[in-house]
Copies of this chain bind each other. A is one copy, B any other.
Amino acid sequence: MLLLVLSAFVAILYNDQFQPFQAAVGFSLLGYTFTTYMIPRVSTAFIKRGLFGRDMSKIGKPICPETIGVIPAICYMFLMILFIPFMYVRYYYHGDGSSLSEPASLFPNGKLSSFLSGMLCLQSMILLGLMDDLFDIRWRHKFFLPAIAAIPLLVIYYVDFGVTSVLIPSFLKRCLNVTSNSFDLGVFYYFYMAAVAIFCPNSVNILAGINGLEVGQTVVIAVLLILNDLCYMLMGDLGSPAYSVHLYSSCMLIPFLGISLGLLKFNWFPARVFVGDTWCYFSGMVFAVVGISGHFAKTLLLFFVPQILNFIYSSPQLFHLVPCPRHRLPHFDAKDGLMHNSWTEYDRDHPIKKVMVPIFSAFEKIRLIKLVRNSNGTIIKSSNMTLINLVIIWFGPKREDHLCALIMALQFLTGLFMLILRHTVAPMLFGFDNSWNMLERRWN
């Protein structure tokens, strides 16, 4: 651990060219160390305060401290604040009021308020997530918590920047016969940003239920986004707008990766801590902030494909077309120690809707659902419609950690495929890489 801290300080301080990237790696190591140091030390205090849950997928259903995700989240906030002097140029005021600037590899100071708005947004999300974990806010209210937390982001975007136009892909331009390159969304641009801010945290929150998955999925997304950043940084010229914006994005994500891995260590099977809604909201919001302030929210969504599919697949139950039991997590069988898919059962009080019968039968044929029929052929049970259960249907019952690793691997492969698609097909459609022109205005 001492070695980690030491190398962190070396990376941050022994930094001749003031490379924010290198400093980010240093802060990431610090974050990992601090998170792994703190979590075991605070667990008892959380349990004492009543913040704990039972791990349903273990023999004896042991108690685990809940809401531990708030520790790495707060740690991230302070790391990023300490990171500021390594990201932004320091102004030295002289007696005559003139200022002296430092290495040009840093970000323009004019962008500091945009960075701070992101920080405020994340901190609001931690605070509201904590309120949710403490006081169990109702589902239909908590869905909008991220939108409230995003207010700082939107307000400061409005005051400080305010570009609300989006690019029109060249193929669409030909179809619609327009000459302008961009289209001004006006106030809808703010709805769009708010939608991204609502989507990311909530989509992380609903892909959950087995040890390690809440954190694991955010680790995968962070890795994919950093890969995406590296693509741009290796392709783009030093100092170009795309380079700058993706350097910024990686500076946000590399320390995030550090604290996530620290948390994952304790949340991995067999979990010693649970992360709580705070973590799901916070981590989703980190991605939303990076995507929005880096102006690549559409690319961001490419890496949320498993979460999007999970949401679509879940929607019949979420919108009560099919009865939805309180918990849909997979079922732990103490006999073989494996995770099996869980079921929704139908009876007189909770009948299956007639319209769903042919749909379910069709789904069954393409192995999208598992059904159990009685002797009359009536459906009495169907597997719960979550991505986790679907993976179990496809690959068979698995031990909890293998299941989590499998889902993470699938997520990573999907993301990698999207990443390749993004850098090969998209430039063809848009005629040029769509971040560039936009950023020119934003970063210069």
Contact = CB atoms under 8 A, between A and B. Distances in A.
A134 interface: yes
A60 interface: no
A401 to B, nearest CB: 30
A123 B151 CA distance: 14
Contact of A88 (B135, B148, B159): B159
B120 A116 contact: yes
Contact of A152 (B46, B81, B136, B160): B81
Contacts of A134: 49, 134
Contacts of A46: 135
B85 A151 contact: no
A56 B113 CA distance: 47
Contacts of A163: 93
Given A42-B135, A151-B78, A90 B158 contact: yes
Interface string A67-80: 00000001001100
Interface string A138-181: 00000000001001100110111111000000000000000000
Contact of A441 (B78, B97, B123): B97
Interface of A: 42, 45-46, 48-50, 74, 77-78, 81-82, 84-85, 88-93, 97, 109, 112-113, 116-117, 119-120, 123-124, 126-127, 130-131, 134-136, 148, 151-152, 155-156, 158-163, 441
The 6 closest A-B pairs by CB, nearest first: A116-B116, A113-B113, A45-B135, A112-B113, A123-B123, A81-B152
14 contacts: A49-B135, A74-B127, A77-B124, A81-B151, A81-B155, A82-B151, A84-B159, A85-B155, A85-B159, A91-B161, A93-B163, A116-B156, A120-B120, A120-B123
